[in-house]
Amino acid sequence: MLRLLALFLTGFLCCEANPAGPQMLETDPVASEESPSFRLIQVSSFSNHTWASSQGSAWLGELQTHAWDSALGTVHFLLPWSHGNFSKQELKNFQALLQLYFHGFPHTVWAFATQMQFEYPFELQISLGCRMHTDETWESFLNGAYDGSDLLSFQGDSWRPTPEAGTRAQKVCGVLNRYRDIKEILLYIVKTCPQFLAGLLEAGKSELERRVKPEAWLSPGPSPGPGRLLLVCHVSGFYPKTLWAMWVRGEQEQPGTQRGDTVPNADGTWYLRVTLDVGVKETAGLACRVKHSSLGGQDIILHWDKHIRLLLLISLPVAAALTMLVVIHTWFPSIN
């Protein structure tokens, strides 16, 4: 299993790809742009000792660059510059390694499942990649998870069990650490990933540096119940996808803030909805605060009190006009 894994990872990093973390950690929106990372995500599901399926994808930060087609055994390059600066032969070799890996991985897991205390059905996740910090230092990572829970990681020159994972993680590490050649290959990958990431950043420079400022507005949502309000903050038209938005009172973030999914607009920008359920008498001082890389550090801050006053200013003339129409209709019913 590990020989195939190491071969696969080496080919992926040396020939053209971006390791992305599996299910694992969500990256901080603003921080993720300051610290570019490349991650490979693999998710393999095992129903029993004869059936399994795997999905693979590669991510540059939160932008997916590659996808693995398990049916055809091919790599999909999702962006014009996903090929990076690698030759056709390197890409061909890379795809061949992926085919070998995804074919052999389930057979190896089946062979060691009992010894590693894997209980069907189960799911394995692998996260491999590297990250560049703002001070131009590099950090590489390789983590494994079992059914969504951290299992092990590769540190220094050996596999280390996650303390909370118990004896299962210890047994898995015991098997993996017997393969010296795997360790050597992984150490080589640690040195190679930064070079690959730098090449991909250069190839996609024009798109990665694109910035579109968000627009934001407030509105009331459906009433959550008697004496309560649902405050809604809409943020739209921003790019890249990474954005931070929160309901605050002064500098204090409101823990009840609910963040919806970030969804695409037709023009390739993004939309986000952030809500807060509060009592009618608890809205004083509340505001929606938005941070985005296009704003140059100048956050958008929308105050709910000002929003209510604006609504009143807009609604009063409309209400007056409607009242006048009712009066006219009452006194002069024959007027059409």
Query: Residue 17 has what pLDDT?
Result: 35
Over the chain, what is the mean pLDDT?
82
Rounded Cα–Cα distance for residues 128 and 183 (Å): 14
Render pLDDT for 291-314 as a digit per residue (tens, 0 to 9): 999 999 999 999 999 877 655 444
| Residue 256 contacts residue 292 (beta carbons within 8 Å) | no
Phi, then psi, of 57 in degrees rounded to 5:
-150, 160
- DSSP characters for 61-96? TTEEEEEEETTTTEEEE-STTTTTT--HHHHHHHHH
Query: Residue 214 has what pLDDT?
Result: 97
Render pLDDT for 246-301 as a digit per residue (tens, 0 to 9): 999 999 999 999 999 999 999 989 999 999 999 999 999 999 999 999 999 999 99
Domain 2-208 in this protein, CATH class:
alpha beta
Query: Residue 331 has what pLDDT?
Result: 63
**Side chain identity, residue 47:** S
- pTM for the whole thing? 0.68
- Higher pLDDT: 108 or 76? It is 76
Residue ranges per structural domain of the chain: 2-208, 215-331
CB contact set of 167 (below 8 Å; sequence gap of 6+): 117
Fold match, 2-208 / 215-331? no
pLDDT band at 97 (very low <50, low <70, confident <90, very high): confident
pLDDT band at 325 (very low <50, low <70, confident <90, very high): low
Fold held by 215-331: Immunoglobulin-like (2.60.40)
Query: Residue 135 has what pLDDT?
Result: 77
- Higher pLDDT: 163 or 188? It is 163
